[in-house]
């Protein structure tokens, strides 16, 4: 559990008015935005990350239906402001809107964010996080709140790819994918064929490259834990490759994945929140080995310092480090 989630639990336990009486009497409703953990028995949650424990609520609705809204912020400024704006839109008039963010992710400036929309605030610090709350007032600067929504919504990058603040590499093509594209061999264009997948597809950059480069692909699965990424990848690819792609909003480390694949490409993540975990990338590689048919190919791009080789050696028939470039290694493994 993140420090910010611990801080939210603390403030709800110590400031009773932040939990409306209607909720205590089981007649009201609360929405929690951005959490990776179930905070309590609240019925409505929004997280872009796939988690079967969390009941998904579509925050694109803006009808002020909740008696209270609680927000867990992120290290991405536009994303946090977007979540706060959605919370203010979804809260009933005079309902408490509470936001929590770790200090080293921008929590120290959280109250300033509220006040920039003319919101009166109260605040507290706990668990290395800042907790700020208000009540949805008629006097809020709606133009500023609408600006937060515009800046955090889905939009086109400079290269015309649809993306959204908060998803992987939302501002630019990531350097790992760029390195892979630069070393991709001509003879591979015919080898990557049949049924394939991108494990951790993001907005579809690597998938787009593979589909445009390899002319024998018949089916291509797009898998990501972030719903926004899956939606963007689908939007970026469906016009040209709509009959080939199949999107999946799924936790790759736990979910039921496509089987008997001929190839998989991946630029696996190695961060969970603030923690750097090689185990996350290793879990992707393990799942890839289970999803591939015998003789299937797995093309991996990873930071040079990540210790994936022993895992690959244990799970695959053979592998080769194709090249080390710009701080990344490109690995080709065969099942």
Rounded CA-CA distance 82/71 in Å is 11
Six token digits for residue 136: 């949805």
> Do residues 288 and 319 lie in contact, with contact meaning Cβ atoms separated by under 8 Å?
no
pLDDT, residue 60, reads 81
CATH, range 155-334: 3.40.50.150
* Per-residue pLDDT tens listing for the chain (335 residues): 889 999 999 999 999 999 877 666 666 788 999 886 666 656 677 888 876 656 678 888 767 789 999 999 999 999 999 999 999 999 999 999 999 999 999 999 999 999 999 999 999 999 999 999 999 877 899 999 999 999 999 999 999 999 999 998 888 899 999 999 999 988 899 899 999 999 999 999 999 999 999 999 999 999 999 999 999 999 999 999 999 999 999 999 987 999 999 999 999 987 555 555 788 999 999 999 999 999 999 999 999 999 999 999 999 999 999 999 889 999 999 99
Domain ranges of the chain: 3-152, 155-334
3-state helix/strand/coil string of 268-322: CCCEECCEECHHHHHHHHHHHHHHEEEEEEEEEEEECCCCCHHHHHHHCCEEEEE
**Alpha helical stretches, state H, the chain:** 3-14, 21-24, 77-90, 110-115, 142-152, 175-183, 188-191, 205-213, 227-241, 278-291, 309-315
> Do residues 145 and 89 lie in contact, with contact meaning Cβ atoms separated by under 8 Å?
yes
pLDDT, residue 41, reads 58
> Do residues 62 and 50 lie in contact, with contact meaning Cβ atoms separated by under 8 Å?
no
Domain 3-152 has CATH 3.40.50.150: yes
Q: Do domains 3-152 and 155-334 have the same CATH topology?
A: yes
Rounded CA-CA distance 299/319 in Å is 10
pLDDT, residue 46, reads 83
pLDDT, residue 164, reads 95
Nearest Cα neighbor of 79 from 129, 151, 136, 140 is: 151
CA dist list (Å): 48 to 26, 33, 305: 27, 9, 29
Judging by DSSP bridges, how do beta strands 162-163 and 155-156 pair with one another?
antiparallel
CA dist list (Å): 231 to 167, 245, 249, 272: 11, 12, 9, 21
pLDDT, residue 77, reads 95
Six token digits for residue 232: 């963007």
The total number of residues shown for the chain amounts to 335
Rounded CA-CA distance 71/250 in Å is 23
Rounded CA-CA distance 16/186 in Å is 64
């Amino acid at each position: 559990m993140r420090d910010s989630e611990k801080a939210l639990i603390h403030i709800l336990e110590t400031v009773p008015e932040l939990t409306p009486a209607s909720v205590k009497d089981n007649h009201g409703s609360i929405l929690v935005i951005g959490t990776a953990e179930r905070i309590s028995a609240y019925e409505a949650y929004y997280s872009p990350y796939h988690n079967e424990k969390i009941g998904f609520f579509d925050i694109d609705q803006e009808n002020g239906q909740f008696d209270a809204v609680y927000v867990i912020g992120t290290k991405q400024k536009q994303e946090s402001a977007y979540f706060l704006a959605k919370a203010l839109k979804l809260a009933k008039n005079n309902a408490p809107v509470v936001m929590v963010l770790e200090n080293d992710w921008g929590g120290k400036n959280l109250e300033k964010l509220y006040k920039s929309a003319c919101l009166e605030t109260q605040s507290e610090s706990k668990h290395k996080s800042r907790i700020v709350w208000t009540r949805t007032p008629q006097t809020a600067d709606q133009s500023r709140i609408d600006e937060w929504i515009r800046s955090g919504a889905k939009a086109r990058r400079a290269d015309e790819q649809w993306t959204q603040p908060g998803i992987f590499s939302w501002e630019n093509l990531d350097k790992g994918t760029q390195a892979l594209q630069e070393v991709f061999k001509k003879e591979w264009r015919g080898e990557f064929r049949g049924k394939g997948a991108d494990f951790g597809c993001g907005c579809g950059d690597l998938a787009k490259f593979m589909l445009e480069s390899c002319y024998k692909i018949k089916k291509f699965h797009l898998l990501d834990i972030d719903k926004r990424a899956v939606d963007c990848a689908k939007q970026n690819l469906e016009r040209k490759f709509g009959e080939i792609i199949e999107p999946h909003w799924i936790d790759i480390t736990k979910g039921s994945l496509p089987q008997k694949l001929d190839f998989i490409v991946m630029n696996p993540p190695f961060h969970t929140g603030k923690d750097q975990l090689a185990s996350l990338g290793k879990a992707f590689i393990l799942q890839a080995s289970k999803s591939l048919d015998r003789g299937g190919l797995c093309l991996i791009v990873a930071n040079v310092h990540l210790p994936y080789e022993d895992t690959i050696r244990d799970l695959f028939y053979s592998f080769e480090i194709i090249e080390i470039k710009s701080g990344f290694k490109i690995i080709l493994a065969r099942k």
